[in-house]
Structure 1
Amino acid sequence: MRSNFLPSRLALPLLLASLVGCATSGGLEPVGQLAPADGLAARESLAGHAAEGAAFPDIDWWTAFGDPQLDALVEEALRGNPSLDAADARLRQASARAGLADAQRKPTVGATAQYSGLRIGETVAPEPIGGQYSGVELLSLGFDHSFDFWGGKRAQWEAALGQARAAEVDAQAARLSLSANIARAYVALAAAYDDLDVARAEEARATGLQDLSGKRVRAGLDNRMQLERAQASVASARQQAQAARQRIDAARNAIAALLGQGPDRGLAITRPTLLQAPAPGVPAVLPSELLGHRPDIVAARWRAEAALRGIDASEAAFYPTVNLKAMVGLASIGLSDLFRTEAGLVQGGPAISLPIFDGGRLRARLDESDAGFDLAAADYNGRLAVALREVADAVQGASALDARIATATEARDAADQAWQLATQRYDAGLGTQLDVLAAQQPLLQLDQLLAGLRAQRLVAAIDLDEALGGGLELPAPASTH
């Protein structure tokens, strides 16, 4: 009898072993690859802009503009903002998921107290079994643990941990983006005030020309054409001033919204006192060192590594799993007998399971994991290329704007000399007031041009600081694949 029983107990494991090849991961693998940073040619484009001793921005890069009000606005925004709250909530959510994945790797112990009653009718079983009610009290302590021989659960935990680290970097990226957007809105506010100054000066000039033209028309020295032109110039200058005031209001409202406040908060923002933008320069260690400073690149790298761990977890699902369950407890029909020695109950043992035919579920899951890595790798490679383009655009744009500002300043100095000369000739009785007003017009136009160029130069400096990562140092994962 015993000799016949043993072969029957081995039959099922042998059958399982014979069918191991039915559920297989063969032929499935990702096709994407993470591009090396130095593989993207950028040294020649950036070489002319690599300043001696240039470094990555400071963590509080906006202080380089020398405006205490801007410093206070950025600090206020970073203390609490709805967009930052959302990023922090996503971080907590990802951290909780990582904690859940870690908990799946550990044994579980649980206690149970149970009462169960049963009465079998006499039509089913005669007395003494039928017609009697019996109750069973059960107290038990259970143990459950699934051994991670193939590293699948560890891979799931590492994937969740990678996603949590990516969310942490995303929170830093949100702070960098917020501070940069505040700085840009602040520059727009400063530019609107400069445009208002020029519009007011132009209105004063056009009003003087209108008064002079009116006198000449009344004296019969001129026709009404000049007067009509002067009146049009006055109206145009007033329209420019109105447009500048509208931009001031819009910039204040934008800053208030970035602070997470209502538009009334913007009314307390005074005129900016921004200094000259810093000279453009990039560190000589680009592009490789950019990986640890750009939060979007670091986050994309973490997500790619998390996707690789997800592939490992999907592959581990093809292998056998070993689970150990045990239970100790007390059971009796009567409560008075529950704590007697005879009431002891022990149950336990290992269980082995192996996927054989699953309708392609495991292969589909692995294929999905492979595609997830390909998608993450493509996102990382794309962000790396965009980052280098943004650095090049910002530093090249800043250098070009410096050259344009220098040329416009020369033209403005020449126009100022012409205006002063016309004023001196008028004071000496050698020229007319009309000559003075005419010479002032190109000077004001160049003032407006310079104001716009300086604003663009400040924005280029902000763009460069943001493109270089805003002073953040974020360790990226070292891939093991």
Structure 2
Amino acid sequence: MPFPTSLPRRSATRHALQATALAATMLLAACASPGPSHTPLAQTPADALGLQPAAHTPAAPAQWWSVLGDPQLDTLVDQAQQGNPSLAVSRARLEQAVALSQVREAANGPQATLGADVTRQRYTAHGLVPAPVAGNTYNSGNLQASLSWAPDFFGQHAAELQAALGQARAAQADAAAAANLLAAQVGRSYVALARLVAQRDVALRALAQREEQLQLTSERAAAGLDSQVELTQAQAAVPDARTQIASLEEQITLARRQVAALTGQAPGALTALTPRLAALQPGTVPGTLGADLLGRRPDVVAARWRVEAATQGVHSARSEFYPNIHIGAFIGLNSLGLDTLLNAGSRQMGVTPALRLPIFDGGRLRAQLGGRQAELDAAIAQYNSVVLEAVKEAGDALASVQSLTRQQSLQTEAAASAEKAYRFAQERYRAGLGSYLVVLSTESQVLAQRRLAVDLRARQLDTQLQLMKALGGGWTDDTATLHTAAR
């Protein structure tokens, strides 16, 4: 029986597949080993931090500061978002990260180039070049189109792209965090200015009362009903009130300059800015903290994306232990003599497949993988730190808001009693039934309560701004109701 000259088609295909699989197995076995698997650090779970389970929460309002209901504040924040230099830095970093991700994405696809060159050269007469070229000068031309591609069989390119995209998304979250921080700074500076204006109003009211009291005491002293002591005390109270007003005027000027600096304006651009605490209305506050509210904080989002980018970096470093395949092709014209460059005989073409695999590199790839794994651990640790700080910041602000609500209720009662006692003391003094010392004592209590009312109101607004910033940009009324009901 004659020996067959060819195998059946099915048998040949099976043997080809077996040979391919065997070759691939041998190639993979010959590669350097990445070593034992690495277990990254664990991310802090929400329930371990005492957070409520995540609910379906709408995104934070785009202009969350507008919940305070002051159009003047809205305008200032918009100006800050446009003119503050720190935001320009964040936007530039975001553009840089996006550009780098686009570079990585473009590098993963096929690359095509077109080149042309002309060379004038005298060839040595004593080299390897034969006659008639040897010893003569010729013009040579080359026109060539090239195509190259590195197939991503082991996911290295995809991991590198995802890592770059993760960094870009982290930079985007950083820009949002900078914008939120700036909005909170403008809002808090605006509230601080409104507090100083309100304290000045209290001081002006106190000055008017003391001038009225001085007039009354002067009349009583002239009638012999009061001594020189009461008159001197009444006279001293007037310049004291004016000194307090002057001090507040200075603080108001500095506060206006602070707002101007935050909004990117000249120091004296806001000399007429006179915000009113009454124009700022605090909104409904969530009763509890939810993982969904904290999870949308830009700094938490940025840290989470950096963990993702570092994870992809580990995948990329691990894929370098596997073979690298590169396919190239070219087609063009090449001629010794420009007059024949465009002839059909000057054509040249070729295909250049290449395979490279690491076998021994002195531990370089393992060290590189170890570095990427350490980067992942650092990113997870940073994420855990950011989450813990976010929980503390939001919890402190929420506790302060709730405490200030109770303090305001108690202060309202105390202020009403102090105002009533002051009116009685004045009436008795005018009627000649009470002493001037009682008037001074009750007036001090009234002024203290009026100042305290202003401070509590300003602190309530300030802590609510802190809470909005801590929760990644405020909340909607539906969100607040949802988390209050979950308490």
TM over 0.5: yes
1:40 to 49, 74, 79: 49
Residues 56 and 22 of structure 1, relative CA distance in 2, 3 Å threshold: closer
Distance 2:201 2:313 in 1: 60
CA contact (8 A) 2:204 2:245 kept: yes
Structure 2: any 5+ residue segments left out of the alignment?
1-21, 477-487
Deviation at residue 287 of structure 1 after TM alignment? 2.6
Distance 2:421 2:287 in 1: 43
Report SS of the residue matched to 1:326: strand
Q: Which amino acid aligns with 1:359?
A: G
For 2:73, the equivalent position in structure 1 comes to 70
Distance 1:333 1:276 in 2: 84
1:87 to 90, 95, 98: 90
Deviation at residue 106 of structure 1 after TM alignment? 0.3
Query: Is residue 329 from structure 1 mapped to residue 338 from structure 2 by the alignment?
Result: no
Report SS of the residue matched to 2:326: strand
Deviation at residue 149 of structure 1 after TM alignment? 0.6
CA contact (8 A) 2:31 2:357 kept: no
1:200 to 197, 204, 210: 204
For 1:282, the equivalent position in structure 2 comes to 286
CA contact (8 A) 1:426 1:432 kept: yes
Query: Is residue 368 from structure 1 mapped to residue 371 from structure 2 by the alignment?
Result: yes
For 1:237, the equivalent position in structure 2 comes to 241
CA contact (8 A) 1:148 1:154 kept: yes
For 2:19, the equivalent position in structure 1 comes to none
CA contact (8 A) 1:30 1:374 kept: no
The TM-score normalised by the length of structure 2 is 0.83
Deviation at residue 174 of structure 1 after TM alignment? 1.9
Query: Is residue 189 from structure 1 mapped to residue 193 from structure 2 by the alignment?
Result: yes
Report SS of the residue matched to 2:35: coil
Distance 1:331 1:307 in 2: 47
Deviation at residue 117 of structure 1 after TM alignment? 3.4
Identity of aligned residues (%): 37
CA contact (8 A) 2:340 2:346 kept: yes
Aligned counterparts, 1:263-302, within 5 A: 263-275=267-279, 277-278=281-282, 281-282=285-286, 286-302=289-305
Deviates more, 1:199-208 or 1:175-184: 199-208
1:168 to 172, 191, 195: 172
Distance 2:102 2:370 in 1: 26
1:103 to 102, 106, 113: 106
Report SS of the residue matched to 2:80: helix
Deviates more, 1:330-339 or 1:142-151: 330-339
For 1:414, the equivalent position in structure 2 comes to 417
Distance 1:272 1:40 in 2: 39
For 2:16, the equivalent position in structure 1 comes to none
Query: Is residue 444 from structure 1 mapped to residue 447 from structure 2 by the alignment?
Result: yes
Structure 1: any 5+ residue segments left out of the alignment?
1-12, 45-49, 474-481
2:135 to 126, 131, 134: 131
For 1:479, the equivalent position in structure 2 comes to none
Q: 1:167-208 deviations in whole A, cap 9, x for unaligned?
A: 122222222111111110011001111221233344455566
Aligned counterparts, 1:369-384, within 5 A: 369-384=372-387
Q: 1:398-441 deviations in whole A, cap 9, x for unaligned?
A: 11111112222211111111111123324444335554344222
Report SS of the residue matched to 1:241: helix
CA contact (8 A) 1:307 1:369 kept: yes
Distance 2:276 2:126 in 1: 95
Residues 54 and 105 of structure 1, relative CA distance in 2, 3 Å threshold: closer
Deviation at residue 219 of structure 1 after TM alignment? 6.6
CA-based RMSD: 3.3
CA contact (8 A) 2:325 2:355 kept: yes
Distance 1:424 1:223 in 2: 21
CA contact (8 A) 2:467 2:474 kept: no
Distance 2:95 2:475 in 1: 21
CA contact (8 A) 1:294 1:467 kept: yes
For 2:9, the equivalent position in structure 1 comes to none
CA contact (8 A) 1:109 1:141 kept: yes
Query: Is residue 425 from structure 1 mapped to residue 428 from structure 2 by the alignment?
Result: yes
Aligned counterparts, 1:330-349, within 5 A: 330-349=333-352
Report SS of the residue matched to 1:141: strand
Distance 1:234 1:270 in 2: 25
For 2:465, the equivalent position in structure 1 comes to 462
Q: Which amino acid aligns with 1:23?
A: A
Distance 1:248 1:375 in 2: 45
Q: 1:274-315 deviations in whole A, cap 9, x for unaligned?
A: 44643653266x432135421111111111111101111111
Aligned counterparts, 1:238-253, within 5 A: 238-253=242-257
Distance 1:57 1:22 in 2: 50
**Would you say how many aligned residue pairs link Structure 1 and Structure 2?**
451
Query: Is residue 387 from structure 1 mapped to residue 410 from structure 2 by the alignment?
Result: no
Deviation at residue 154 of structure 1 after TM alignment? 0.7
Q: Which amino acid aligns with 1:120?
A: Y
CA contact (8 A) 1:115 1:137 kept: yes
2:307 to 293, 304, 324: 304
For 1:47, the equivalent position in structure 2 comes to none
For 1:318, the equivalent position in structure 2 comes to 321
Deviation at residue 223 of structure 1 after TM alignment? 6.6
CA contact (8 A) 2:116 2:144 kept: yes
Distance 2:254 2:406 in 1: 30
Deviation at residue 91 of structure 1 after TM alignment? 1.3
Q: Which amino acid aligns with 2:96?
A: Q
